[in-house]
Chain A
C-alpha cells in the first residue's frame, strides 16, 4: 500500500466520521420531540403541565394508557385504520401505476387532458370540494359504509404524478429492446418498467398509507357508526372544546405510530439501492 493510498483512505474515513457526526446531530433534532411524546404518555396530568417542563416522569405510570382504552374503543379503531389504510394504499398503486406508465410512455389521443385532470385534482383545496364529494357519496347510498371511505380514495393524482415522474426517468433503451424483440408494451411494463420502479412504488405506497392513516376529516364526515370509526378520529375526540388531556392523547399518539413504523420496516427493503439497481440491470 503506497503512502498516497493510505492518506486517501484516512481522508475518506475522516469524511465518513464527519457525515455520521452531522447526521447524528440532525437525528437528535428529529428524535427529541418523539422522546417528549413518549415520556409525556407516562406522566400524570399535573406533571405534564408543569412549567418549565420536566423531562422525566417522577413515577412511570400506565394510567394514561388505561384511561385511553376506557375512553375510546382503541383496539377496534386501530384495526379499522390498519386494514383500510393498507387496502387504500394498495388500490392506489394498482390504479396509479398502470396509468402513470401510460402517461409517461405511450402516445394516445386525449393524453394531455386525462393527465391534466389528474394534476387538477391536486390543485383545488379540499375545503371546497368536500361537500360536493359528500353529496355524491350520499347519492350513491354509501353513507356510513367503508365503501364511502375507500372508493373515492382509490384514484390518486398524487400517486399518479409521483410514479409518472419515475417512469419518465427510466432509461427507454430497456423497454425498446423488448419492443424490438417483438414484445408488446404490456410486456415491457410488466417485465421491465414495474420491476425497475419497485423503489418508487414502495415509496408511493408508503406515502399513501401514511396519508390515510392520518386522515380524519373525510372519515369523520362519511362514517357515523362508532364501530366503524378510525383511530385519528378517536384521538381527536380526546380534545374537547376548551381542554385536552395531553398525557392520554400522547399515549394514544405513541401507540398509533407503531403501525407506521412497521409499515416502513415492511417496505424499506424495496426502498434500498439493491432492489432498484438490480431492476435496472434486470
Chain B
C-alpha cells in the first residue's frame, strides 16, 4: 500500500504523454532506425570489443589473457606514447587553425566574386586536391617538399631560405600540416560556400545602408550566420587531425627518427608490426578519451558563439 501514491503519480505522468509526443517518438524511431542499427552493429559493437581487447594481452591470433588495466598503466609510462601524443598535439595546433582560416578566407573570397562563372571555376579548382588518391599525391609532395623542390624555390623568390622539410625533426610536422591543409581545405571550402550562400543578401544591403565596412559586415553578419558551419568544420578537422595517420605514413613514415610518429601511426605499428593488439586498443582508448573530452568542451562552448536558427 505504501507504494500506491508514487505509482499513481507515475500513471498520471504516463497519461500526460500527449498523442502528439508519442507520434513524434514513433517517427523519430523510424527515422533513426536504419542508421542507428548500422552504427550499433558496425561501430559500437567493434568499439566495445576493442575496449574488451584493451584489457587483455591479445596479439591478434592466440587466446587473449585478461590483464586488467595493465595496458593503460604501461601506456601512461611509455615514453614513445607520450612523444607520439606531443607530435599529434603539435600537428593539431598547426593544422587545425590554419586549415580553418584558409578555407574560410578562400570561401569568402570566392563567394564575394560577382561573376557566376568565376565562382564556378574557382570552386572547382579548390575542390581538386580532395579527389586525388593518397599515395600518388604523397609521392608528388615528396618531390615538392624536397630541399631543392618547388616549395623552397617559391620561398626563395620571397627571400626565405626554405628548410629541409621532410628531413628535419622540427620541420616535418609543419610540412605534414602544409600537405594536409592543401589536401583538406577543399572540404571546408565546399561546406562554407554552401553555408555562405544561405545568408540572406538583404542583410548585407541593410548593413551597407547603415555604413558598415566590409570587415564589420563579415564580423557581425556573416560570421554569426555561418557559425554552425564553422563549428562543424572545426569539430571535423579536430577529429581528423587528432587521428592523423595516412599523411604521416606516406609522407615521412613517422620520421626522421620518430619525430613525426603520431598516436594513430604508433597505434598502427603497435597493432600490426609489434603484434600487441591489446596494447594498441588501450592506446586508442586513451586517444579517444582525449578526443571525447575536447568534444564535450567544444559542445558546451557552442552556446557562446554558435547561433542556430537566427532567421
Contact = CB atoms under 8 A, between A and B. Distances in A.
Q: Does A touch B (CB under 8 Å) in the complex?
A: yes
Contact of A214 (B29, B120, B134): B134
Interface footprint category on B: 35 or more
Contacts of A252: 136
A102 B232 contact: no
Interface in A87-115: 94-96, 98-99, 101-103, 106-109, 111, 114
Q: Is the interface of A mostly helix, strand, loop or mixed?
A: helix
A117 to B, nearest CB: 5
B271 A128 contact: yes
A214 B32 CA distance: 28
A239 B135 contact: yes
A155 B36 contact: yes
A136 interface: yes
A210 B131 contact: yes
Interface residues of A, number: 100
A157 B122 CA distance: 30
20 contacts: A19-B109, A23-B122, A95-B35, A106-B27, A111-B28, A114-B32, A114-B36, A117-B39, A128-B267, A128-B280, A136-B45, A152-B38, A152-B42, A155-B39, A156-B35, A166-B229, A169-B195, A249-B135, A257-B133, A264-B127
Contacts of B277: 128, 131
A123 B114 CA distance: 40
Contact of A264 (B114, B131, B245): B131
A181 interface: no
B284 interface: yes
A10 to B, nearest CB: 14
A29 interface: yes
A166 B191 CA distance: 10
Nearest to B179: A33
B34 A155 contact: yes
B132 A117 contact: no
A244 to B, nearest CB: 8
Interface of A: 16, 19-20, 22-23, 26-27, 29-34, 36-37, 52-53, 94-96, 98-99, 101-103, 106-109, 111, 114, 117-125, 127-129, 131-133, 136, 151-152, 154-158, 160-162, 165-166, 168-173, 184-186, 189, 199-200, 202-203, 206-207, 210, 214, 231-232, 235-236, 239, 244, 246, 249-250, 252-253, 256-257, 260-261, 264, 268, 271-273, 276-277, 280
B101 interface: no
A277 B197 contact: yes
A200 B309 CA distance: 16
Contact of B284 (A119, A128, A169): A128
Interface stretch (B89-97, B139-147, B155-163, B167-175): B139-147
Contacts of B37: 155
A230 to B, nearest CB: 11
